[in-house]
Amino acid sequence: MKILVDADACPVKDIILKVAKEYKVALVMIKDICHELYDDYAKIITVDKGRDMADLVLINNTKEDDIVVTQDYGVAALALARKAVVINQNGWLYTNENIDDLLSRRHMNQEMRRKHKKYTKIAKRTKEDNIKFERKFRELVINKVKKE
C-alpha cells in the first residue's frame, strides 16, 4: 500500500506528509512543472504541463488498496476502478456508490457555467477543514496499516 497525491492544487500536502511519515507509509506526490515541491521522504513525480498529465501518471501508478488523495472526480472514478481508496482534501471518501452522482452533477454544473457563464465562489479553507481532513485521513491510514 502507498499514498498517491494529486499534488498540484492539494491544500493538505503537509498533513499527508506528516501522517505518512508517522506510519511509515510510502508517499508519492504527482505534480506538473509549474508547481514547486520538495521533500526527502516523499517520492515526487514531476510531469510536463498539459491537460490531465499528472492525473494520468497518478492513475498509472495506482494499485489495489492504495490511498489516493484528489479533489478531481474523474481521477477519483479511475482510482476506484483500480480498487484504491479515494479521499478528498476535506476528508470525504469517494465510493462506488457516490461517484456516478458526483460525475453527473459535475457535468451538469459545467454545462450551466458554459451556458450562463456563472461561476461559484469557493469558500476559503479554514483550520477546521484541515483538522477534519487529518482526523479522517489518519483513521484511513491506520485502518489500512492494520490490515497489512
Neighbours of 86 (CB within 10 A): 25
pLDDT value at residue 11: 94
Q: Which domains does the chain have, with CATH numbers?
A: 2-147 (3.40.50)
Rounded Cα distance, 105 and 109, in Å: 6
pTM of the model: 0.85
Weakly modelled stretches of the chain, pLDDT under 70? 100, 102-104, 106-122
Radius of gyration of the chain (CA): 15
pLDDT value at residue 50: 75
pLDDT value at residue 96: 84
pLDDT value at residue 49: 85
Residue 49 C-alpha cell reads as 504541463
Angle (CA) 4 6 11, round 5°: 110
The DSSP H or E segment spanning 145 is helix 127-147
